């Protein structure tokens, strides 16, 4: 499971058997969430507080291109 980056204790990653549309999983201290990135939208949340979700969403918005580049590079190389 490729980790894209870690920021403020959050781990942003995707799984090696993922499917489109491009999305990102976020984990921290037993909590996890999944966001689509275009547009940035919460798919599910398990344990994050509203303030954490707002921070996560802003991080994803700032890094949409980075996430998409990592996704495309990883899945195009593994085909």
Q: How many CA atoms lie less than 13 Å away from 50 in the CB half-sphere?
A: 0
pLDDT, mean of residues 1-25: 89
The pTM for the full model equals 0.89
pLDDT tens-digit series, residues 38-54 = 999 999 999 999 999 99
pLDDT at position 54, please? Answer: 98
Provide the residue ranges of all domains of the chain, joining segments of one domain with +.
Answer: 3-77
Task: Give just the sign of the alpha carbon dihedral 79, 3, 43, 23.
Answer: negative
pLDDT at position 2, please? Answer: 84
Query: How many beta carbons lie within 10 A of that of residue 27, not counting itself?
Result: 18
**Confidence band, pLDDT 50/70/90 cuts, at residue 16:** confident
Determine what percent of the chain is predicted with pLDDT higher than 70.
Answer: 95
């Amino acid at each position: 499971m490729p980790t894209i980056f870690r920021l403020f204790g959050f781990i942003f990653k995707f799984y090696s058997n993922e499917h489109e549309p491009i999305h990102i999983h976020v984990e921290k201290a037993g909590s996890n969430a999944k966001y689509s990135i275009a547009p940035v939208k919460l798919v599910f949340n398990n344990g994050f507080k509203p303030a954490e979700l707002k921070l996560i969403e802003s991080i994803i918005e700032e890094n949409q291109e980075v996430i998409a580049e990592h996704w495309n590079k990883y899945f195009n190389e593994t085909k």
